[in-house]
Structure 1
Amino acid sequence: MMFRTPLNKLKNLSIPSILVWFTLALTQSACTAQPVETKAQMLVFGTLVQITTYTHNKTQAEKAIHAVETRFQQFHHEWHAWEKGGIVSKMNQAIQQQQPIQIADSVKEFILKSQQLAKQSDYLFDPGIGTLIALWGFHSEHWQGPPPSATQIAHWLKSRPSIADLYFKDNLLYSRNSDVSLDFGGNAKGLALDIAIQELRAEGIENAVVNIGGDMRAIGHKNGRDVWAIGIQDPSDPQRALAEVDLSGDLSIVTSGTYQRYFEWQGQRFSHILNPNSGYPATGLVSVTVIHPDATTADAAATALLIAGPQHWREIARKMGIQEVLVIDENGQIQQTKAMEKRTKLL
């Protein structure tokens, strides 16, 4: 069974570079009824979220999807970088005021994981750079420039706030640098994918795919033959796929691209993916696709590798333990790891 998401429904949203296109093949024995496909979609995180399950109990599937939707609406409010009243806003306010803040175990766990991923990436992925993101105007719904001045960027670099500045005493969060502003745009969608799969499995769902604006995590029944064929967008023509990869088992596929969110100023394009070491948008690569079992890790790695650029992405991938990567540079050239080549078909 093959089904596609109409691209015209996505063109006004933030669309990562995985083309929303996949195939599920399940082998069924002669005495087993065909699983029922249940689909739902919602608008969360400023993009389209799609959930598709395959079960023998439609009521069970609908209950599971509702549980995911409820978690997602809560997640959007709590983790939105500039949503007042959410946990990120509260943490940033406490950091700015140089006050400790009590946080839940789940939030602490995510921050610790993000710190580990940031360290492994040599802090190319760094959720502590919210003030830099705001300086470039990417904390608003419309990105239009002008870019910040060289003086403003130099001033930011002098402080160089980082998630590494945070530390804990039990569940009290402290910061050594009051300029830290948390923004988990680099791995929050990955966390949301992982949470969604946890919710579905808690409700007994074992065959499903969750798609957040093109970033996906798919699970399939191990007693059958499961193949999810996913197309990767051509950055120069996002309506077209330039490669197809096959997923099986439990895997995530996440793409970061400089062509997804940007503004143009005086004939120059400025991407929302910023290099914390320079203060300027990443250059050299236009798209990075990562496959990994953990979507949070895949999301962070895709960001870090894109910032690392053509010369250093393999080194950062090794440090982050990422084996399956496909990158596209500004000239349209494709490079892959050997592990990725085994599952990729160029179109």
Structure 2
Amino acid sequence: MKFNGFPFKHFAIAVLAFWGLTACSPPTQTVQEVFYVFGTEVRVEIVDAPQAKAEHAIQGIEATFQQFNQDWHAWEKGGILGNINDAIAARQPITIADSVKRFILKSQTLAAESDYLFDPGIGQLIELWGFHSEDWHGPPPSEETLQAWLKSRPSIRDIYFKGNTLYSRNSNVRLDFGGNAKGLALDLAIESLLHAGIENAIVNIGGDMRIIGSKNPENHQAWRIGIQDPDHPKTALASLQINGDESIVTSGTYQRYFTWKGKRYSHIINPNTGYPADHFISVTVVHPDATTADAAATALMIAGPSGWEKIARQMGITEAFMVDGNRQTYATPTMKKRLHLLDAKNS
């Protein structure tokens, strides 16, 4: 089967939404559509809006996502990102649109705040590990290959601009926004809904969500969200309520990996070592901005138990929940207050 989209096809649903209304809630007009893009299921639910208006808005989101997938695919040719990477490899400048420049600059800021644990400039390293394809099977790259990459250490910090023209100081930079492109897509979708006058909705891309308003505006009923148990994907490990405008994004080492000679290797790779992260197995971040939440979930995953608090502070993350391989849980103080833990050892 030909892979078509970001590498989300085999991701388990990291965040579970409990869609049903409680028995005492009055009925509201709800339009819900499911479509497939980025190699995963996308679910959009709009509440308390005229049906024709809601359907038109969802159609617009689907069209935007299909184009977004083509433009920002990390390794297929012909899109915006493919053209940028080709220009960098050829040591040539390339002129880009304002919106593309803004996203790259925002990603550079997030990378710096994460001490470059989140670094979209490491596409070459991700490719060395075999994650620029649908078939992940190993073997791992050799130590010599990884050391050669680390010696060059391409990074998004090597990108700079003169006006709208992009340059790179390092021709080994390959931009890969798998760490926060889904978040950008969520932000664009919600922006389009708000522009259309829709105030209550949830957009869910393979389990990562941005939510506005209420599940039931008549009684201000919150959306109830379950966080997936990494060991039992069909059940929730914890839950929380969201009412207003928030994103909830989860990264997990259990989502995309291969096993080689009895050892599991995840797709979430530490740019400082060249090897996959292996401390946390799941990180969930709640933040108003989905692009930020997406990047932070990756960075905290790599930071691990000893470094996550520092990185969270630097990235402005006040709500995060982590699970390690022993099912030990970690959470920021703010997250602890709102999280209902169903089964785990608390840190």
Q: Shorter chain as normaliser: what TM range?
A: over 0.9
Do 1:25 and 1:227's aligned partners in 2 also have CA atoms closer than 8 Å? no
Aligned-partner Cα distance in 2 for 1:23–1:289 = 23
Residue in 1 aligned with 2:144? 151
Do 2:10 and 2:256's aligned partners in 1 also have CA atoms closer than 8 Å? no
Residue in 2 aligned with 1:270? 265
Aligned-partner Cα distance in 2 for 1:72–1:225 = 30
In structure 2, what residue type is equivalent to 1:299? D
Do 1:233 and 1:240's aligned partners in 2 also have CA atoms closer than 8 Å? yes
Q: Residue deviations 1:72-100, cap 9 Å, x none?
A: 00000000101210000000000000100
Do 2:42 and 2:205's aligned partners in 1 also have CA atoms closer than 8 Å? yes
Matches within 5 A, 1:48-197: 48-197=41-190
Do 1:131 and 1:180's aligned partners in 2 also have CA atoms closer than 8 Å? yes
Deviation at 1:281, TM superposition (A): 0.2
Do 1:26 and 1:224's aligned partners in 2 also have CA atoms closer than 8 Å? no
In structure 1, what residue type is equivalent to 2:247? S
Aligned-partner Cα distance in 2 for 1:226–1:162 = 44
- Other structure's SS at 2:244 match: coil
- Give 1:212's match in structure 2, choosing from 202, 205, 217: 205
For the structure 1 residues 267 and 230, does the alpha-carbon distance in structure 2 shift closer, same or farther, using more than 3 Å as the test? Answer: same
Residue in 1 aligned with 2:345? none
Do 2:11 and 2:206's aligned partners in 1 also have CA atoms closer than 8 Å? yes
Deviation at 1:27, TM superposition (A): 10
- Other structure's SS at 1:313 match: helix
Residue in 1 aligned with 2:14? 17
- Structure 1: gaps (5+ residues): 1-10
**Which segment is superposed worse, 113-122 or 13-22?**
13-22
Matches within 5 A, 1:284-295: 284-295=279-290
Aligned-partner Cα distance in 1 for 2:299–2:90 = 29
- Other structure's SS at 1:250 match: strand
- Structure 2: gaps (5+ residues): 1-7, 343-347
Aligned-partner Cα distance in 2 for 1:35–1:22 = 13
- Other structure's SS at 1:128 match: coil
Aligned-partner Cα distance in 1 for 2:289–2:195 = 17
For the structure 1 residues 261 and 271, does the alpha-carbon distance in structure 2 shift closer, same or farther, using more than 3 Å as the test? Answer: same
Q: Residue deviations 1:123-159, cap 9 Å, x none?
A: 0000000000000000001101111000100000000
- State, as a whole percentage, how many aligned pairs show the same letter: 59
Aligned-partner Cα distance in 1 for 2:309–2:180 = 20
Give the alignment's Cα RMSD to 1 decimal. Answer: 1.8
Number of corresponding residues:
333
Deviation at 1:55, TM superposition (A): 2.5
- Other structure's SS at 2:35 match: strand
Aligned-partner Cα distance in 1 for 2:22–2:187 = 23
In structure 1, what residue type is equivalent to 2:295? A
- Other structure's SS at 1:252 match: strand
Deviation at 1:22, TM superposition (A): 4.2
Matches within 5 A, 1:21-40: 21-22=18-19, 34-40=27-33
Aligned-partner Cα distance in 2 for 1:275–1:155 = 15
Deviation at 1:259, TM superposition (A): 0.1
2:307 is aligned with 1:312: yes
Do 1:25 and 1:225's aligned partners in 2 also have CA atoms closer than 8 Å? no
Deviation at 1:15, TM superposition (A): 2.5
- Give 1:247's match in structure 2, choosing from 242, 249, 254: 242
2:322 is aligned with 1:327: yes
Aligned-partner Cα distance in 2 for 1:176–1:239 = 46
In structure 2, what residue type is equivalent to 1:133? I
Do 1:102 and 1:171's aligned partners in 2 also have CA atoms closer than 8 Å? yes
In structure 2, what residue type is equivalent to 1:102? T
In structure 2, what residue type is equivalent to 1:234? D
In structure 2, what residue type is equivalent to 1:104? A
TM-score by length of 1: 0.93
Deviation at 1:249, TM superposition (A): 0.5
TM-score by length of 2: 0.93
For the structure 1 residues 223 and 105, does the alpha-carbon distance in structure 2 shift closer, same or farther, using more than 3 Å as the test? Answer: farther
In structure 2, what residue type is equivalent to 1:174? Y
Aligned-partner Cα distance in 1 for 2:171–2:221 = 49
Aligned-partner Cα distance in 1 for 2:165–2:96 = 6
Residue in 2 aligned with 1:5? none
Residue in 2 aligned with 1:6? none
Aligned-partner Cα distance in 2 for 1:147–1:141 = 16
Do 1:102 and 1:172's aligned partners in 2 also have CA atoms closer than 8 Å? yes
- Other structure's SS at 2:77 match: coil
